[in-house]
């Protein structure tokens, strides 16, 4: 485990996975960094705001977006389930979901 500013952290050169609860204000920047990294992670499990996850996942979860369509050739994107706000202390002001990004071969 590493405690650092993810947007400034040097990503590993060897195969790696990402697991985390990201700050909602930088969700887009973090996902972009991960999906465009060289090398990208094998997969990423992230807790994020439901609306942001829907824009990334598209399909069954929300209307397709340019971002969801550009991710799909290289990534399997899935909202795993939905958390209740009461699952957290203190409860967040927005709905959150766990999102999986798995690199396609």
**Domain coordinates in residue numbering, the chain:** 18-103
- Show Cβ contacts of residue 78 under 8 Å, excluding neighbours closer than 6 positions: 57, 99, 100, 102
21-28: average pLDDT = 91
> pLDDT digits over 43-84, tens only?
999 999 999 999 999 877 788 999 999 999 999 999 989 899
CA distances from residue 98 to 9, 22, 91 in whole angstroms, order as listed: 23, 11, 16
User: Given the DSSP bridges, would you call strands 43-49 and 75-79 parallel, antiparallel or unpaired?
Assistant: unpaired
What CATH number is given for 18-103 in this structure?
Answer: 3.40.50.150
Query: 27: closest CA among 8, 2, 9, 6?
Result: 6
pLDDT at residue 48, as a whole number: 95
C-alpha angle 88-94-95 in degrees, rounded to nearest 5: 70
- The mean pLDDT of the chain is 92
């Amino acid at each position: 485990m590493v405690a650092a500013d993810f947007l400034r952290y040097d990503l590993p050169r060897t195969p790696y996975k990402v697991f985390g609860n990201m700050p909602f204000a930088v969700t887009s920047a973090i996902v972009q960094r991960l999906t465009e990294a060289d090398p990208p992670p094998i997969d990423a499990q992230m807790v994020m705001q439901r609306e942001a996850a829907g824009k990334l996942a598209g399909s069954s979860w929300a209307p397709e977006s340019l971002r969801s369509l550009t991710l799909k050739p290289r990534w399997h994107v899935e909202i795993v389930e939905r958390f209740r706000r009461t699952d957290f202390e203190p409860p967040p002001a927005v709905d959150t979901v766990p999102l999986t990004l798995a690199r396609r071969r």
